[in-house]
Chain A
Amino acid sequence: MEYFIQQLLNGLTLGSIYGLVAIGYTMVYGIIGMINFAHGDIFMLGGFAAMIVFLILTSLFAGIPVALALLIMLIVAMLMTGLWNWTIERVAYRPLRGSFRLAPLITAIGMSIALSNFIQVTQGPRNKPIPPLVSSVYEIGAISLSLKQIIIIVLTVVLLSIFWYIVNRTPLGRAQRATQQDRKMAALLGIDVDRTISITFIMGAALAAVAGTMYLMYYGVVSFNDGFVPGVKAFTAAVLGGIGSLPGAVLGGILIGLIESLWSAYFTIDYKDVATFGILAFALIFKPTGILGRPEVEKV
């Protein structure tokens, strides 16, 4: 039983990271109907930004408290990836808005390839390990709960509440939902659609940056191709939860995290990704629009 709870906690931690990335996918999909393939690499950029900020902080101020360092890493990473995603949307996606559906998908894949190779070229192909930031572990009975996990889960819950508030209770969120429902009508009613879409990209990127920083803190290492696998899994999470639905993205993320950690714990670790993708395919066969997704109504 303890073992099960332990694995549940590990899965929840991992799922929180996936959930944060998945929100970026699902929001962008909801608002402009494209798969933002570069989002996984935005997540990786967030991890890199945090890593570099950490190195700057430790070399300039040797005895900086960890909490302050983490906070600065988070803020800089969020700003940095927000700027990147804004630029990418501006340069690669906006000119193609209203064009045919596959064009932005291809530019997104191109951007993803370009981003990971850009980091490989400028920062080198090797893994970038950092010393452990937070290492306290609490023992509750036979279950060990590390401070890292607590930080990740608490931060996810806090961010999601803020996020939920923004989307459901502010004028900005209303503009986003309106744009999602009908872009043309929203524009006619005086919503600056371009600005709303840009802000959506920035928000998604900021959440991905938090996930990237948490990933760096949890595993203590980041590399240029870390964007792809977590990116695909987060996307899988978004689809599993029903793409376009915010609670769906979080639910999907946590489900994927749980599947992964429970499968590695009770079956074989080799096939954990096969299990993830297999369950996705299986779930979609029976529920083609994901768990919380609304069915697409076809009008003739």
Chain B
Amino acid sequence: MAETTISTVKPEGNLVQRGLKEGLFAGAISLGLFVLFVGLKTDQNMQNELILVPRWGLLAIFVIVAAVGRFLSIVFLQPWLAARKAAKAEEVKAVTEEEGFFRKHFNKIAIAALVLYPPIVLSLVGVQGSLKFVDNFGIQILIYVMLAWGLNIVVGLAGLLDLGYVAFYAVGAYSYALLSMHFGLSFWVLLPVAGILAALWGVILGFPVLRLRGDYLAIVTLAFGEIIRLVLINWTEVTKGTFGISGIQKATLFGIKFDASPEGFARMFGLPMSSAYYKIFLFYLILALCLLTAYVTIRLRRMPIGRAWEALREDEIACRSLGINTVTTKLTAFATGAMFGGFAGSFFAARQGFVSPESFVFLESAVILAIVVLGGMGSLVGIAVAAVVMVGGTELLREMQFLKMIFGPDFTPELYRMLIFGLAMVIVMIFKPRGFVGSREPTAFLKERRAISGSFTKEGHG
């Protein structure tokens, strides 16, 4: 920070000089970083031995991009940012109380848009074309929204860092898969059952870790997540191990099945057979589940238990001194968060028709946690925005077939999906460490409701 303010005062020539120096330095560093991994590629030959294939051209591109990028950033970007910041600081900002119409009614508009999304897509691209949009972009994103909102209760409200949230997702998915397979129960019976079972696991796993704080809690929750996944892999008599359980019953709409039978949805309404109707039904189902999660979260925040969660996040010692039972407070947070994970899990199983331990790896927990933090912990809108950006963005990458024309036919954008996801996590955090939505609305206030900056809320110690 200090460097940039000095550089704006210094004459232009000096800046270019510094830019050149830093650019060369960045080039040298990136040469060192990439010389082995980009400059050389290891391939297997016919004898299955590793051979090296040089790629010096690609290495040169990497180095040049790093050097030129650093130079441009020093000479143009940083002075410009500093100037903008200075201009912003000088400008006396009138405190505007009046928000725009869009901002004021953002939630209502967003919900209306989501409800209207499937019919609009249907009318625009037809029944078969809508599959991709409703399934990949709609359902996929909403599942992550729901999971992130569920985890938000644990991390954002109660301030307990949980790195194994995907375990409850797995519990929900497997309880639906196994119970529907063995007892033939329907989705609507098993949805609450899956939620209850997941909540029970939340309590079981939460109980031993109550004494742990901060990073110890993080590693133990991570360990529990891994234990559940490993048990799912190894307990083959029940879970069929890595093969997973397939042929899971689909969800029904008031007893109407979505299949080709005469009582099926398509025949009943005289529509052509298509799996798009089931997807649209699932879209509304997960939308309803998401809204339920949001509603429960908003209501709970105003109830004593929700306030206790947030108080626990702000200051655990003060909480204890005021007579709040921290044990039950933490356990209810774990259980409530886990319950929504369980709902999402059983929905996931009904949507895929197939569950395997592969879907419940640590990476999923990390992605969900990343969405919660990137969105701004505790802010429902921010989390939804983060889910749309991160999940929708990576899904979008699958669709970018036109990139093949630029980079040649061997280019597969899917490969770069997680690479870009990881880098995006880093970049967003650096520029917005408090998440996309920087303001919070406390539920307790003195005279009038006001949004405060996210920096005023604490993140909890354990």
Chain A positions within 8 Å of B, measured between CB atoms, are 29, 35, 45, 48-49, 51-53, 55-56, 59, 76, 80, 83-84, 87, 91-92, 95-96, 99-107, 109-115, 117-124, 126, 128-131, 228, 232, 235-236, 239, 243, 270-271, 273-274, 277-278, 280-281, 284-285, 288-290, 296, 298, 300
Q: Contacts A113-B418, A118-B419 given: A29-B215 contact, CB under 8 Å?
A: yes
Of A96, A117, A228, A285, the contact of B430 (CB 8 Å cutoff): A96
Instruction: With CB as the reference atom, state the residue of chain B lying closest to A113.
Output: B422
Report if B185 contacts A (CB, 8 A).
no
- Quick check: A288 and B230 within 8 Å, CB to CB? no
Residues of chain A lying within 8 A (CB to CB) of residue B161: 102, 105
Q: Tell whether, in the assembled complex, residue A106 and residue B317 are in contact, meaning their CB atoms are under 8 Å apart.
A: no
Taken together as a complex, chains A and B put the C-alpha atoms of A59 and B448 apart, in Å, by 74
Contact A113:B459 (CB < 8 A) given known A83-B32, A239-B215, A239-B216: no
From residue B419, how far is it (CB to closest CB) to chain A in Å? 4
Contact partners of A298 in chain B: CB under 8 A: 317
Cβ contact within 8 Å between A84 and B422 = no
Asked whether, in the complex, the Cβ of B366 is within 8 Å of the Cβ of A109, the reply is: yes
Q: Binary interface profile of B, 406-443, with partner A (CB < 8 Å = 1, else 0)?
A: 00000000011011011111100110011000000000
Q: How far is the CA of A51 from the CA of B208 in the complex (A)?
A: 42
B224 proximal to A (CB < 8 A) = yes
Let me know if B51 and A55 touch, CB within 8 A. Answer: yes
Check A48 against B429 for contact (C-beta < 8 Å): no
Closest Cβ of chain B to A93, distance in Å, is 10
Q: Can you report 5 residue pairs joining A to B where beta carbons are below 8 Å apart?
A: A35-B219, A106-B429, A117-B416, A273-B230, A289-B216
Nearest CB of B to A125, in Å? 9
Q: Which residues of A contact B216 (CB under 8 A)?
A: 239, 243, 284, 288-290
Residue in A29, A55, A117, A235 whose CB lies within 8 Å of B42: A55
State the main secondary structure of chain A at its contact with B: helix
B41 touches A123 (CB 8 A): yes
**B259 within 8 Å of A (CB atoms):** no
CB <8 Å contact, B29 and A110 = no
Please name the residue on chain A nearest to B321 by beta carbon: A300
Chain B interface mostly: helix
CB distance from A35 to the nearest CB of B (A): 6
Is the Cβ of B36 less than 8 Å from the Cβ of A101?
Answer: no
Residues of the A chain whose Cβ atoms lie less than 8 Å from the Cβ of B415: 120-121
| B315 CB, min distance to chain A CBs, angstroms | 9
Asked if A114 meets B422 with Cβ closer than 8 Å, knowing A52-B40, A52-B42, A83-B33, the reply is: yes
Q: How far is the CA of A296 from the CA of B316 in the complex (A)?
A: 14
**Residue ID in chain A nearest B361 by CB atoms:** A228
| B227/A112 in contact, CB under 8 A | no
Contact of A59 among B38, B52, B224, B362 (CB under 8 A): B52
- Contact A48:B37 (CB < 8 A) given known A114-B423, A128-B50, A277-B223: yes
Q: How far is the CB of A219 from chain B (nearest CB, A)?
A: 15
Docked Cα-Cα span, A67 to B2, in Å, equals 49
Q: Can you name the residue of chain B whose Cβ is closest to the Cβ of A91?
A: B426
Evaluate contact between B426 and A102: CB separation under 8 angstroms. no
A120 to B363 alpha-carbon distance, docked (Å): 16
Cross-chain contact B36 with A80 (CB below 8 angstroms): yes
A103 partner residues in chain B, CB cutoff 8 A: 373, 429, 433
Query: When the two chains form the complex, which single residue of B43, B222, B423 contacts A110, counting CB atoms closer than 8 Å?
Result: B423
Q: Give B160 Cβ to nearest chain A Cβ, in Å.
A: 12
Indicate if the CB atoms of A111 and B426 lie closer than 8 Å. Answer: yes
With A29-B215, A55-B51, A109-B370 as contacts: A114 and B223 at CB distance below 8 Å: no
The residue on B at minimum CB distance from A119 is B37
Q: Which residue on B lies nearest to A53, using beta carbons?
A: B36
